[in-house]
Amino acid sequence: MDCRCNAIDNGDASSEKQHDGDDGGGVLLRAARRLLPCVACLLVAAQFAAATYRAARDPGDLCFVATAYSMLAVLLYLVGRSESLAADGSSAAAVARERLKLPVWALSAALTALFTSRVAPMMPPPLRAVVVAMALLVTVGGFFLLFLCDAGNAYDDDDDDADSDQDEEV
């Protein structure tokens, strides 16, 4: 996992004025924003170590823990990469972000199936059906939103602004 902060500084004059006028509170806030991902990485690593220690006696449990954490790490990396590409307005970044949708969905669907396969057998049959149905709903809903509804892409706000200007005149 990447413990670096991917802060974006657009370099405009207003942000420079905000940074210059800070009386210490803004410096603390920026430091906290840079430290938070590192703390999160450390917490996840500690949780992984504890889960690995508890699962060391059973190879199936150890495989589950290693698979789940490695898939989660790759998923978080891909989502972070997608977010950093979203900040870049170029068409190449948009194409690269579009290519990341399928691996992100596939990993999230695989993680959902992995956790469902561990949770569902512990449930009584009616609740098992609910758990499986919810996992299917989340997986199909994620596919629908990412690929069919084009969710997550920036929309052209120029038309919306024109419509709102006409509404104000009436």
Given a contact cutoff of 8 angstroms between Cβ atoms, the answer to whether 7 and 84 are in contact is no
Specify the residue for token string 């974006």: 8
Cα gap 145→138, rounded to integer Å: 10
Q: Rg of the Cα trace of the chain?
A: 22
Q: Name the band, by pLDDT with cuts 50, 70 and 90, for residue 151.
A: low
Please list, in sequence order, all residues whose beta carbon lies within 8 angstroms of the beta carbon of residue 103, skipping any fewer than 6 positions away.
78
DSSP 55: T
Report, as an integer, the average pLDDT of 50-75. Answer: 88
Q: Note every long-range contact of 139-146, with CB atoms under 8 Å and residues 24 or more positions apart, other chains counting.
A: 139/108, 139/109, 139/112, 139/113, 142/105, 142/108, 142/109, 143/105, 143/109, 146/101, 146/104, 146/105
Q: What's the pLDDT score for residue 11? A: 45
* DSSP conformational letter for 144: I
pLDDT of res. 96: 87
Question: Please, what is the average pLDDT of the chain?
Answer: 78
| Residue 95 reports pLDDT greater than 80 | yes
Of residues 85 and 24, which shows the higher confidence score? 85
Residue 44 makes CB contacts below 8 A (sequence gap 6+) with 1, 69, 72
Q: Half-sphere exposure of 109 toward its Cβ, with a 13 Å CA cutoff? A: 15
More confident residue, 82 or 8: 82
Q: For residue 45, what is the enclosing H or E element? A: helix 25-54
More confident of the two residues 146 and 133: 133
Tokens, residue 133 = 């149905």
Of 14-23, 78-87, 123-132, the poorest mean pLDDT is in 14-23
Euclidean distance between CA atoms 1 and 11, whole angstroms: 28
Which H or E run contains 19? helix 13-20
Prediction pTM value: 0.65
